[in-house]
Structure 1
Protein backbone atom coordinates (compact mmCIF):
# COMPACT_ATOMS: atom_id res chain seq x y z
CA UNK A 1 0.00 0.00 0.00
CA UNK A 2 2.79 2.42 0.89
CA UNK A 3 4.41 1.83 -2.50
CA UNK A 4 1.13 2.54 -4.30
CA UNK A 5 0.63 5.75 -2.32
CA UNK A 6 4.20 6.84 -3.08
CA UNK A 7 3.72 6.22 -6.79
CA UNK A 8 0.40 8.08 -6.75
CA UNK A 9 2.06 11.06 -5.06
CA UNK A 10 4.85 11.03 -7.66
CA UNK A 11 2.34 10.94 -10.51
CA UNK A 12 0.41 13.80 -8.91
CA UNK A 13 3.60 15.87 -8.76
CA UNK A 14 4.35 15.04 -12.38
CA UNK A 15 0.90 16.24 -13.49
CA UNK A 16 1.27 19.47 -11.49
CA UNK A 17 4.68 20.17 -13.02
CA UNK A 18 3.46 19.43 -16.54
CA UNK A 19 0.57 21.84 -16.05
CA UNK A 20 2.97 24.49 -14.77
CA UNK A 21 5.19 24.09 -17.83
CA UNK A 22 2.14 24.39 -20.07
CA UNK A 23 1.20 27.65 -18.33
CA UNK A 24 4.75 28.96 -18.71
CA UNK A 25 4.70 28.09 -22.41
CA UNK A 26 1.46 30.01 -22.92
CA UNK A 27 2.40 33.04 -20.80
CA UNK A 28 5.97 33.93 -21.69
CA UNK A 29 6.00 37.43 -20.16
CA UNK A 30 6.01 37.30 -16.33
CA UNK A 31 4.69 39.98 -14.04
CA UNK A 32 7.65 42.21 -13.25
CA UNK A 33 8.22 43.83 -9.89
CA UNK A 34 11.43 44.47 -7.94
CA UNK A 35 12.57 41.19 -6.37
CA UNK A 36 15.55 40.69 -4.04
CA UNK A 37 17.42 37.50 -4.94
CA UNK A 38 19.34 37.60 -1.66
CA UNK A 39 16.11 37.40 0.34
CA UNK A 40 14.88 34.55 -1.86
CA UNK A 41 18.14 32.65 -1.33
CA UNK A 42 18.03 33.12 2.45
CA UNK A 43 14.41 31.94 2.64
CA UNK A 44 15.16 28.93 0.45
CA UNK A 45 18.04 27.89 2.71
CA UNK A 46 15.85 28.19 5.80
CA UNK A 47 13.23 26.00 4.14
CA UNK A 48 15.90 23.45 3.18
CA UNK A 49 17.21 23.31 6.75
CA UNK A 50 13.67 22.76 8.02
CA UNK A 51 13.12 19.84 5.62
CA UNK A 52 16.61 18.38 5.80
CA UNK A 53 18.32 19.50 9.04
CA UNK A 54 21.03 16.88 8.44
CA UNK A 55 22.25 18.56 5.24
CA UNK A 56 24.66 21.53 5.21
CA UNK A 57 23.36 24.32 2.97
CA UNK A 58 24.98 27.73 3.34
CA UNK A 59 24.64 31.22 1.89
CA UNK A 60 27.60 33.03 0.34
CA UNK A 61 28.33 36.07 -1.77
CA UNK A 62 28.99 35.28 -5.43
CA UNK A 63 31.94 37.63 -5.38
CA UNK A 64 33.49 36.03 -2.30
CA UNK A 65 33.29 36.79 1.40
CA UNK A 66 35.04 40.13 0.94
CA UNK A 67 32.06 41.45 -1.04
CA UNK A 68 29.59 41.07 1.85
CA UNK A 69 25.86 40.72 1.48
CA UNK A 70 23.76 43.38 -0.22
CA UNK A 71 20.31 43.15 -1.81
CA UNK A 72 20.47 41.94 -5.41
CA UNK A 73 17.38 43.27 -7.11
CA UNK A 74 15.90 42.23 -10.44
CA UNK A 75 12.57 42.84 -12.12
CA UNK A 76 10.52 39.68 -12.13
CA UNK A 77 7.82 37.43 -10.75
CA UNK A 78 8.79 36.75 -7.12
CA UNK A 79 6.79 33.53 -6.85
CA UNK A 80 8.41 32.07 -9.97
CA UNK A 81 11.92 33.14 -8.98
CA UNK A 82 11.43 31.54 -5.57
CA UNK A 83 10.53 28.36 -7.40
CA UNK A 84 13.80 28.56 -9.33
CA UNK A 85 15.81 28.70 -6.10
CA UNK A 86 13.73 25.95 -4.47
CA UNK A 87 14.10 23.60 -7.44
CA UNK A 88 17.85 24.11 -7.69
CA UNK A 89 18.43 23.45 -3.99
CA UNK A 90 16.10 20.43 -4.08
CA UNK A 91 18.04 19.10 -7.08
CA UNK A 92 21.34 19.47 -5.22
CA UNK A 93 19.94 17.71 -2.14
CA UNK A 94 18.60 14.87 -4.24
CA UNK A 95 21.68 14.22 -6.35
CA UNK A 96 24.53 14.57 -3.84
CA UNK A 97 25.59 12.32 -0.96
CA UNK A 98 24.63 13.28 2.58
CA UNK A 99 28.09 14.61 3.43
CA UNK A 100 28.29 16.93 0.41
CA UNK A 101 28.27 20.70 0.95
CA UNK A 102 25.74 22.87 -0.88
CA UNK A 103 26.31 26.60 -1.29
CA UNK A 104 23.83 29.19 -2.56
CA UNK A 105 25.62 32.26 -3.90
CA UNK A 106 24.04 35.59 -4.84
CA UNK A 107 25.72 38.59 -6.38
CA UNK A 108 26.26 40.76 -9.44
CA UNK A 109 28.54 40.73 -12.45
CA UNK A 110 29.53 43.76 -14.48
CA UNK A 111 28.76 41.73 -17.58
CA UNK A 112 28.19 38.17 -18.72
CA UNK A 113 31.31 35.98 -18.86
CA UNK A 114 31.21 32.46 -20.29
CA UNK A 115 32.78 29.79 -18.09
CA UNK A 116 35.31 27.24 -19.22
CA UNK A 117 33.51 24.24 -17.79
CA UNK A 118 29.96 25.13 -18.88
CA UNK A 119 28.39 21.84 -19.96
CA UNK A 120 24.85 23.02 -20.76
CA UNK A 121 22.98 26.31 -21.03
CA UNK A 122 19.43 27.47 -21.78
CA UNK A 123 18.12 30.99 -22.32
CA UNK A 124 19.19 34.28 -23.77
CA UNK A 125 22.64 35.22 -25.06
CA UNK A 126 23.42 38.00 -22.60
CA UNK A 127 25.52 41.04 -23.60
CA UNK A 128 29.00 40.91 -22.13
CA UNK A 129 29.01 44.55 -20.98
CA UNK A 130 25.56 44.71 -19.38
CA UNK A 131 25.33 44.07 -15.59
CA UNK A 132 23.61 40.84 -14.56
CA UNK A 133 22.39 39.39 -11.28
CA UNK A 134 23.58 35.92 -10.32
CA UNK A 135 21.94 33.17 -8.29
CA UNK A 136 24.08 30.04 -8.09
CA UNK A 137 23.58 26.70 -6.35
CA UNK A 138 26.85 24.76 -6.15
CA UNK A 139 27.87 21.48 -4.54
CA UNK A 140 30.98 19.38 -4.13
CA UNK A 141 29.23 16.15 -5.02
CA UNK A 142 30.02 13.70 -7.82
CA UNK A 143 29.17 16.10 -10.64
CA UNK A 144 27.05 15.33 -13.69
CA UNK A 145 28.43 12.63 -16.01
CA UNK A 146 29.54 13.99 -19.36
CA UNK A 147 27.08 11.85 -21.28
CA UNK A 148 24.15 13.36 -19.37
CA UNK A 149 25.22 16.99 -18.85
CA UNK A 150 24.16 18.29 -22.26
CA UNK A 151 20.58 17.06 -21.79
CA UNK A 152 20.12 18.05 -18.15
CA UNK A 153 17.50 20.76 -18.87
CA UNK A 154 15.38 18.60 -21.18
CA UNK A 155 11.88 17.82 -20.00
CA UNK A 156 11.49 14.44 -18.29
CA UNK A 157 15.17 13.65 -18.77
CA UNK A 158 16.77 11.91 -15.80
CA UNK A 159 20.47 11.25 -15.45
CA UNK A 160 19.64 8.68 -12.72
CA UNK A 161 16.07 7.37 -13.12
CA UNK A 162 16.29 5.04 -10.12
CA UNK A 163 17.30 7.83 -7.74
CA UNK A 164 14.56 10.15 -9.03
CA UNK A 165 11.96 7.44 -8.58
CA UNK A 166 13.13 6.69 -5.04
CA UNK A 167 12.97 10.36 -4.09
CA UNK A 168 9.67 11.08 -5.80
CA UNK A 169 11.00 13.52 -8.38
CA UNK A 170 9.00 14.36 -11.49
CA UNK A 171 11.99 14.82 -13.78
CA UNK A 172 10.81 18.34 -14.58
CA UNK A 173 12.44 20.46 -11.87
CA UNK A 174 15.34 21.72 -13.99
CA UNK A 175 13.07 22.15 -17.04
CA UNK A 176 10.87 24.42 -14.95
CA UNK A 177 13.94 26.38 -13.86
CA UNK A 178 14.97 26.82 -17.50
CA UNK A 179 11.47 27.91 -18.57
CA UNK A 180 11.14 30.48 -15.77
CA UNK A 181 14.61 31.93 -16.31
CA UNK A 182 14.08 32.14 -20.07
CA UNK A 183 10.76 33.93 -19.57
CA UNK A 184 12.66 36.55 -17.52
CA UNK A 185 15.13 37.16 -20.35
CA UNK A 186 17.87 35.33 -18.46
CA UNK A 187 20.12 32.34 -18.82
CA UNK A 188 20.78 29.23 -16.72
CA UNK A 189 24.01 27.29 -17.04
CA UNK A 190 25.43 24.06 -15.68
CA UNK A 191 29.11 24.02 -14.84
CA UNK A 192 30.30 20.57 -13.82
CA UNK A 193 33.38 18.42 -13.51
CA UNK A 194 33.00 14.72 -12.71
CA UNK A 195 34.17 14.01 -9.19
CA UNK A 196 34.41 17.71 -8.27
CA UNK A 197 30.82 18.89 -8.12
CA UNK A 198 28.36 21.02 -10.07
CA UNK A 199 27.14 24.60 -10.15
CA UNK A 200 23.79 25.67 -11.60
CA UNK A 201 24.12 29.39 -12.33
CA UNK A 202 21.14 31.65 -13.07
CA UNK A 203 21.94 34.99 -14.73
CA UNK A 204 19.24 37.65 -14.94
CA UNK A 205 19.20 41.20 -16.31
CA UNK A 206 19.23 43.69 -13.46
CA UNK A 207 16.95 46.22 -15.22
CA UNK A 208 17.29 49.98 -15.14
CA UNK A 209 17.76 51.77 -11.83
CA UNK A 210 14.65 53.89 -12.43
CA UNK A 211 12.53 50.78 -12.93
CA UNK A 212 13.90 49.18 -9.78
CA UNK A 213 13.37 52.18 -7.52
Structure 2
Protein backbone atom coordinates (compact mmCIF):
# COMPACT_ATOMS: atom_id res chain seq x y z
CA UNK A 1 0.00 0.00 0.00
CA UNK A 2 1.33 3.43 -0.95
CA UNK A 3 2.02 5.67 2.05
CA UNK A 4 1.97 9.41 1.39
CA UNK A 5 4.12 11.51 3.70
CA UNK A 6 1.93 13.93 5.70
CA UNK A 7 4.69 16.57 5.71
CA UNK A 8 5.92 16.72 2.11
CA UNK A 9 3.28 14.57 0.31
CA UNK A 10 5.91 12.33 -1.32
CA UNK A 11 5.09 8.64 -1.68
CA UNK A 12 8.54 7.07 -1.32
CA UNK A 13 8.20 5.80 2.25
CA UNK A 14 9.38 2.66 4.05
CA UNK A 15 8.56 0.89 7.29
CA UNK A 16 10.84 2.34 9.99
CA UNK A 17 9.59 0.52 13.09
CA UNK A 18 6.70 -1.63 14.22
CA UNK A 19 5.49 -2.35 17.75
CA UNK A 20 2.51 -4.19 19.17
CA UNK A 21 0.18 -1.27 18.61
CA UNK A 22 1.30 0.66 15.55
CA UNK A 23 3.44 0.93 12.43
CA UNK A 24 5.85 3.80 11.80
CA UNK A 25 6.94 4.80 8.30
CA UNK A 26 9.75 7.11 7.24
CA UNK A 27 9.68 9.40 4.23
CA UNK A 28 12.71 9.11 1.94
CA UNK A 29 12.49 12.82 1.04
CA UNK A 30 12.04 14.76 4.30
CA UNK A 31 12.80 11.89 6.76
CA UNK A 32 9.62 12.45 8.80
CA UNK A 33 8.58 9.32 10.71
CA UNK A 34 4.80 8.95 10.88
CA UNK A 35 1.98 6.65 11.94
CA UNK A 36 -0.46 5.83 9.09
CA UNK A 37 -3.91 7.50 9.28
CA UNK A 38 -5.88 4.30 9.93
CA UNK A 39 -3.94 3.87 13.19
CA UNK A 40 -4.72 7.36 14.53
CA UNK A 41 -7.10 7.84 17.47
CA UNK A 42 -10.57 9.24 16.84
CA UNK A 43 -11.00 12.93 17.74
CA UNK A 44 -13.00 11.96 20.85
CA UNK A 45 -10.33 9.51 22.04
CA UNK A 46 -7.60 12.06 21.33
CA UNK A 47 -9.34 14.77 23.36
CA UNK A 48 -9.89 12.29 26.22
CA UNK A 49 -6.10 11.84 26.37
CA UNK A 50 -5.53 15.62 26.42
CA UNK A 51 -8.14 16.07 29.15
CA UNK A 52 -5.82 14.10 31.45
CA UNK A 53 -3.11 16.78 31.18
CA UNK A 54 -2.77 18.85 34.33
CA UNK A 55 -0.70 21.73 32.96
CA UNK A 56 -1.14 25.13 34.61
CA UNK A 57 0.66 28.50 34.70
CA UNK A 58 0.88 28.00 38.49
CA UNK A 59 3.08 24.91 38.03
CA UNK A 60 6.69 26.07 38.38
CA UNK A 61 7.99 22.79 36.96
CA UNK A 62 5.91 23.24 33.82
CA UNK A 63 7.12 26.83 33.49
CA UNK A 64 10.70 25.61 33.76
CA UNK A 65 10.02 23.01 31.05
CA UNK A 66 8.55 25.68 28.73
CA UNK A 67 11.51 27.91 29.56
CA UNK A 68 13.62 25.80 27.20
CA UNK A 69 11.82 27.57 24.34
CA UNK A 70 10.69 30.73 26.14
CA UNK A 71 14.17 31.93 27.12
CA UNK A 72 15.94 31.72 23.71
CA UNK A 73 12.90 33.07 21.88
CA UNK A 74 12.39 35.98 24.31
CA UNK A 75 15.95 37.14 23.59
CA UNK A 76 15.07 37.63 19.90
CA UNK A 77 11.82 39.60 20.24
CA UNK A 78 11.20 43.31 19.85
CA UNK A 79 9.35 44.90 22.79
CA UNK A 80 6.14 45.41 20.78
CA UNK A 81 6.09 41.90 19.25
CA UNK A 82 2.68 40.22 19.02
CA UNK A 83 2.45 36.48 19.49
CA UNK A 84 0.25 33.43 19.00
CA UNK A 85 0.50 30.26 21.08
CA UNK A 86 -0.82 27.57 18.73
CA UNK A 87 -2.04 24.39 20.42
CA UNK A 88 -2.21 26.08 23.80
CA UNK A 89 -3.88 23.09 25.47
CA UNK A 90 -6.26 22.89 28.43
CA UNK A 91 -4.05 25.08 30.65
CA UNK A 92 -2.42 27.82 28.53
CA UNK A 93 0.89 28.73 30.15
CA UNK A 94 3.46 29.86 27.58
CA UNK A 95 1.10 32.67 26.47
CA UNK A 96 0.86 33.77 30.13
CA UNK A 97 4.65 33.81 30.44
CA UNK A 98 4.99 36.07 27.38
CA UNK A 99 2.10 38.29 28.53
CA UNK A 100 3.89 38.76 31.87
CA UNK A 101 6.75 40.28 29.86
CA UNK A 102 4.40 42.75 28.17
CA UNK A 103 3.70 40.94 24.90
CA UNK A 104 0.23 40.93 23.37
CA UNK A 105 -0.77 37.27 23.01
CA UNK A 106 -3.46 35.26 21.23
CA UNK A 107 -4.09 31.55 21.71
CA UNK A 108 -5.53 28.81 19.54
CA UNK A 109 -6.31 25.19 20.31
CA UNK A 110 -8.44 22.82 18.26
CA UNK A 111 -10.21 21.54 21.39
CA UNK A 112 -9.80 24.19 24.11
CA UNK A 113 -9.61 27.56 22.33
CA UNK A 114 -11.07 26.95 18.84
CA UNK A 115 -11.36 30.59 17.72
CA UNK A 116 -10.33 30.26 14.06
CA UNK A 117 -10.32 34.07 13.64
CA UNK A 118 -6.74 34.13 14.97
CA UNK A 119 -5.70 31.82 12.12
CA UNK A 120 -6.32 34.62 9.61
CA UNK A 121 -4.06 37.11 11.41
CA UNK A 122 -0.31 37.69 11.20
CA UNK A 123 2.03 37.61 14.18
CA UNK A 124 5.62 38.56 14.98
CA UNK A 125 6.13 35.21 16.67
CA UNK A 126 4.24 31.93 16.93
CA UNK A 127 4.89 29.13 19.40
CA UNK A 128 3.78 25.50 19.27
CA UNK A 129 5.08 23.49 22.22
CA UNK A 130 4.52 19.74 22.22
CA UNK A 131 2.17 20.15 19.25
CA UNK A 132 3.75 18.96 15.99
CA UNK A 133 4.02 15.35 17.15
CA UNK A 134 0.21 15.28 17.43
CA UNK A 135 -0.48 16.57 13.90
CA UNK A 136 -2.05 14.27 11.31
CA UNK A 137 -1.28 16.87 8.61
CA UNK A 138 1.92 18.57 9.78
CA UNK A 139 2.73 19.87 6.29
CA UNK A 140 -0.54 21.76 6.02
CA UNK A 141 -0.41 23.15 9.58
CA UNK A 142 3.23 24.25 9.48
CA UNK A 143 2.74 25.91 6.09
CA UNK A 144 -0.23 27.80 7.52
CA UNK A 145 1.77 28.95 10.57
CA UNK A 146 4.72 30.05 8.42
CA UNK A 147 2.26 32.03 6.32
CA UNK A 148 0.98 33.80 9.44
CA UNK A 149 4.44 35.06 10.36
CA UNK A 150 5.14 38.71 9.67
CA UNK A 151 8.40 39.40 7.78
CA UNK A 152 11.23 38.94 10.28
CA UNK A 153 9.00 36.77 12.47
CA UNK A 154 9.87 33.66 14.47
CA UNK A 155 8.25 30.24 14.75
CA UNK A 156 9.27 28.45 17.95
CA UNK A 157 8.59 24.72 18.25
CA UNK A 158 9.13 22.18 20.99
CA UNK A 159 9.09 18.45 20.24
CA UNK A 160 11.46 15.58 20.97
CA UNK A 161 13.53 14.56 17.94
CA UNK A 162 14.14 11.25 16.19
CA UNK A 163 17.78 10.15 16.27
CA UNK A 164 18.36 6.51 15.23
CA UNK A 165 16.16 3.45 14.56
CA UNK A 166 17.60 1.71 17.65
CA UNK A 167 16.83 4.68 19.89
CA UNK A 168 13.38 4.99 18.32
CA UNK A 169 12.53 1.38 19.21
CA UNK A 170 13.25 2.09 22.90
CA UNK A 171 11.79 5.62 22.93
CA UNK A 172 9.08 6.40 25.52
CA UNK A 173 7.79 9.17 23.24
CA UNK A 174 6.21 6.71 20.80
CA UNK A 175 4.14 5.05 23.54
CA UNK A 176 1.79 8.06 23.68
CA UNK A 177 -1.12 7.13 21.36
CA UNK A 178 -1.60 10.80 20.39
CA UNK A 179 1.98 11.07 19.05
CA UNK A 180 1.85 10.37 15.31
CA UNK A 181 4.47 12.61 13.60
CA UNK A 182 8.12 12.45 14.60
CA UNK A 183 10.67 15.00 13.38
CA UNK A 184 14.44 14.77 13.26
CA UNK A 185 16.92 17.62 12.93
CA UNK A 186 17.27 16.61 9.27
CA UNK A 187 13.48 16.93 8.81
CA UNK A 188 13.44 20.44 10.26
CA UNK A 189 16.41 21.48 8.10
CA UNK A 190 14.64 20.13 5.00
CA UNK A 191 11.40 21.94 5.86
CA UNK A 192 13.16 25.21 6.70
CA UNK A 193 15.04 25.22 3.38
CA UNK A 194 11.87 24.43 1.43
CA UNK A 195 10.08 27.36 3.11
CA UNK A 196 13.02 29.81 2.96
CA UNK A 197 13.38 29.95 6.73
CA UNK A 198 16.56 29.99 8.81
CA UNK A 199 16.56 27.21 11.42
CA UNK A 200 18.41 26.90 14.71
CA UNK A 201 18.26 24.37 17.52
CA UNK A 202 18.62 26.02 20.95
CA UNK A 203 18.25 22.66 22.68
CA UNK A 204 17.60 18.94 22.08
CA UNK A 205 13.83 19.43 21.85
CA UNK A 206 13.53 23.05 20.68
CA UNK A 207 13.59 24.65 17.24
CA UNK A 208 13.41 28.31 16.23
CA UNK A 209 12.66 29.18 12.58
CA UNK A 210 13.20 32.73 11.34
CA UNK A 211 11.42 34.34 8.40
CA UNK A 212 13.49 36.85 6.44
CA UNK A 213 12.47 40.51 6.23
CA UNK A 214 12.11 40.27 2.44
Whose helix proportion is higher, 1 or 2? 1
What is the TM-score normalised by the length of structure 1? Answer: 0.35
TM-score by length of 2: 0.35
Higher relative contact order, structure no. (Cα contacts within 8 Å, ≥ 6 residues apart) = 1
